[in-house]
Structure formats: structure tokens, C-alpha cells
Structure 1
Amino acid sequence: MEKGVLELAELLRLENVEKTFKYGIVFGFKFKALDRVSLQLGQKPTIYALAGESGSGKTTLARVILRMLKPDSGRVLYKGREVYSLRGNELKWFRSEVQAVFQNPYASFNPLRRVYSYLLDTAMQLGGVRDEREAEELIEKTLLSVGLNPEDVKGKYPSQFSGGQLQRVAIARTLISRPKLIVADEPVSMLDASLRASILEIFKRLKENMGISFLYITHDLSTAYYISDEITIMLRGWIIEKGPVEKVLGEPLHPYTTALLESLAEPDLEKRAKWLNRVELGGIEEKEFVAGGCRYRHRCPLAFEKCSQEPPMVFVKDRGVYVKCWLYA
């Protein structure tokens, strides 16, 4: 595909991305945190969820996309340009168009520095303004767009904000450069339920009104279903199911996706005994990373002989759903 055509068709493209780490210091083992990961985001504004339990590779993938962690192999393309080949003005362009919101807003700001100074620096460096007056106008407009009064932000340190308020400031900071893609890594996991809803509503509004796409990284399938258009489920560095969110979570194909859904407690006391006995999801386990065949076979209730012999292939099901499982051979 020619570069110009690719720019029109895709915002982000990952091709067979791999990243290997060593787990443990002395008697550790090497494992692929990302194993031939491929995904695409089109130019149409979308919220794309990346879900899975801890150790699935979600945050590693986010860091690769953000140029924080170079992959061992594979390609990361943004608007047709290889991300890790960008230099000079092209790199500045990438950093203005691709922004990030992280899990802990307090970790994003120096506790001894006033928050407004971060916004001012971002506006002057990436906001395309000519002077401080224009920068302050841009900051005011941006803070209002996320439901904050600029006068309530000026002069304050991070400790003087609630978690929800500071996460809104962090979102405003990303918006100053007028991004096209925001990578949001567990952005609401440290907030209570009411604040989670307000932040997710901001994301939906930014997608609709400003044409911003989001890569929403989460372990919470309920918020993924609420906010997302498409979803990818990850397991031990693999993509094991992806497609439209209503299909993947409404009619799950992979046994792991089903287990994730069954791990959600239902607010029904009559079903308490049932969900207390549901599948337990594991942490980082050596045997799953180094297992021959399918990495989920040790926990899978439907595993059969072939699952221990060969890694599963990816099969395409109806309505654009992809599943990596021998059940669909």
C-alpha cells in the first residue's frame, strides 16, 4: 500500500510487534510480553479498548505506541509513518498528535510545582501559540471543555485537587496540543464510581465533538463495554479476541473472554453463591508464558489435546470478530 493511501485509511497500525523481558534477577526466565501483536485504528474517531488481566501486555503495548519502549521487532505506524524513525520536526509533530493519560494523576505532576505551570509550558511548546496571552486563552478554553473553572486551577499545587479534578487537569493538558489520538492507560481505576462515569463521559464527548480517537486500556470490562466501539482482549502477550465491542463482550468466543466476563460480580444477592465460585484469574505465571501450545490451556475448561501441541491460529468469524482458539478451526 502506498504511504498516501495508508494515511487516509489508518490512524494507527501495529504489525507483528514483539517485546521480550526477563522475569526475575538470578534464576529468571525470558518471556514475550508482546508476541506478534497486530492491530489497526482507522481514521474515523473511535474509542478502542484494550482489555485483559494484569500481565497480559496492555501497558507494555501502550508504552511501545508512545515511543517509551522500543519493540524488539515489528512496526508501529502512525498515519503511515514509522514511529521509531521519526526525528526533529516529525517527532515534535508525533508528540503533539499522540498524547497520554495515565492511571495515577498525582504521579503526572511534581508535588512542589503549581499545576498551571505545566499547562502553560505545554501551550507554549506544543499549542501553536505566539505568546503567553494566547497560551492563557487556549488553557482557559481547554479547562472549560473538561468542566473546570480556570480560576480554580491557577495557583494550586497537585495536593490541593481531588483525584477526579487532577485527572481532568491531566486530560486538559493532553488537549492543549490538539491531539488526534490519546492513549489512556487505566485512567479511571483509582477513582470512585461517580467520578469514573464523569471522566468516561468526557472521553465520549471529545470523540464526538473534537474527533479524537482513544486507545482505552483497562481491566474493567464494564467500563470497556460502556465507552468503547471496538475491543481487543489480551492474554500473556497475545491478542486472543478482537472486534466490535457488542459482539466480543455480548457473544464471547474465546474461553478466556468468557472467564473475564464471569469474574464480574453481579449486584444480585440471590446469585452471590454462584459468582463467589466463578473462575479465578491468575497473575503472572511462568508456565503460561513458556507453555507450548495455547497459553491459556492450563486454565481452560474446554482444552483438548491439540491445545497442548500447537499455538492456536487466528480465525475470522462473522462481523469482523477475530479469535485465536483451536475451538474454531
Structure 2
Amino acid sequence: MDIKLMTYSLVAHDRAHRDAQLQEIEGKVMNFLLEHVEHIQNVSKHPDSAPPGKFFDPESREIFQALHAGSSDDFLASVGTLTKRLISRMTKATKPGLLVSLRAQNGAERLAAVLKLEILEPTGATLQQLGSGELRLSAVTDMLEKPGDLQKGVLVTSALPADEAICIDRLYRGARYFPSAMGIRMHPRPKEAASTFYEAMQNCAPQWVEPLVAALPKVRPGPPQQVITELAQHVSGMEAHLQAELIDRLERAPRPVTYLDTTRPVTRIIEAGEITVKGPAGVMYQTVKITKKPDGGWQILIDSPEEPEISHR
């Protein structure tokens, strides 16, 4: 894999944007950046990784297409737009970093990546020298997060549809300024997608949760519409309006669900004051009942064919 175009700039809260310039790519820098790109590729192939994200709008897609396949001027224009977007979304609590943009060729595959590399021990002098261009990237690679530790990055390749991108954001449930600035809507990881599905069932059809959970292992993993349609074939009385509501809830989730792994185990957790009851969701729905008491309060009943084991820790 070879990097064909590369540039970088310092990004921090309230920092003035400077026009990007193409940079020379030295051997040390080439290897450092390619290891980051390969890390993103490897993470995306892991079974617990989220599926590729989708661009919010045509503008964001076109920005990355220019980064990926446009002229060198198009490449720099896209970098400028993405840099401005990112700085505008950073706050005082956001760590400064180097935003590295590159285009690479790997045989017949073309790739473009945007990496926000965190500066591990930023000092005022270092930030000033990076911002002015006095320090070259080759001089500070030891100060940047190492390949494998990347917090935030985007990768588009000719192997993906034009409206998709692989996006990494280690603060998965926290700040989401990076994917927002890149114009990418991220999707949940398989376990989170399964949890979102269970919550949707509980909220819109609590009376159907137990039979739906029992039927779930009988259907194939796939897009929500496929999974829910097949579930309806196993659950008598699951009408079209309920199927449509479930699909709609998954599509409107903060991280829209695009794929359901019906083999993915999910833990159901019940918290009542200082007491927590948890276990595999399928077993919990069949054996644990929650009822409201007529005189107030709630009751949790566990039905077990075996004598419970008691220990103190």
C-alpha cells in the first residue's frame, strides 16, 4: 500500500483554520500512517464491530468522494471543509490533535482516510510549532497515539458503496462530535443493536415480548425488516402495524439499526433499589415475572426448577 497524497493540520477548540498544503511523505511517516489505516481495516472486520456508517447527506458524500478520487486541488478543498467542520464542533474539553488526511493505493483498491491523532502530552510550545508548521509530522510521531490506539478515524475505499464509510470513535457512547463533523451516521455494534431491538419490543408491544424472544433463534440474522417479517411467521397475531412500528423504532434510534444478529446473546437486567437480577434475556423473559402489588410496590418472581444457590461476596 502506498500513500499518494497527504496533509495535516492542528485542530483545537477556537483555533483559526489554515489552508492545508500537500506534504512530503517520508518513510517513517508512511509506515506510521499505513499502520493506522490497516488498524481501521482490521477493526472493521471484527465480528463485534459496527457495520459501515452512512453519510448524512449528498454534500458529505461528495466531500469524501473528492478526497478519495478527485484532483489534488479537490483533495485539499475537501480537507479544508472537514477541518473547519471539526474545529467548529470541538469544545474546551475536547483534546487537541493532528487531523491527518491521506489518499492511498493498495493494488486495485483506492482508499482515503481522515485520522484525528491525539497528541499524548501536548505542551504550549509543541502546539504552537505544529500550528505554524515549524514541526514536521516525522518529528512528532512519537508524541501521537500509536497504531492500534486510534481514537477517531474515517476510511472510505473503492470496495465500499459511495454512501458508506468505516468510522471509528472510541468514545462510542460519549461525545460524538467527530462523526457529526465528518457527516457520518454511525450504526450500533451487534450487541447494542440486539439490545435496541429488545427495548423496542418492550416499549411498543410488551405483551408480545415473550413469544418474540422465544421465536428469535428460529429466524435468520439480517436487516430488521427481514428479521421482523420472519418473526411474524412464528408468532401468531403479530399484525402488520406492529411490525411496521418495530421497524420504525429501529430506524429512528440514535444509532439506526441496519442489521440484527439473531444469534447474539443479550443480558436482561432488572434493578429494584439495591437489588439486581440479571441473566440471558431469553431465559429471563420465561422465568422472571414482574407484577405490581395491589397495595403498592412491585414484586419480582423467579420460577426455577432447581433449588437456588445462595452465596455472599
Q: TM-score, normalised by structure 1?
A: 0.28
Greater Rg over alpha carbons, structure: 2
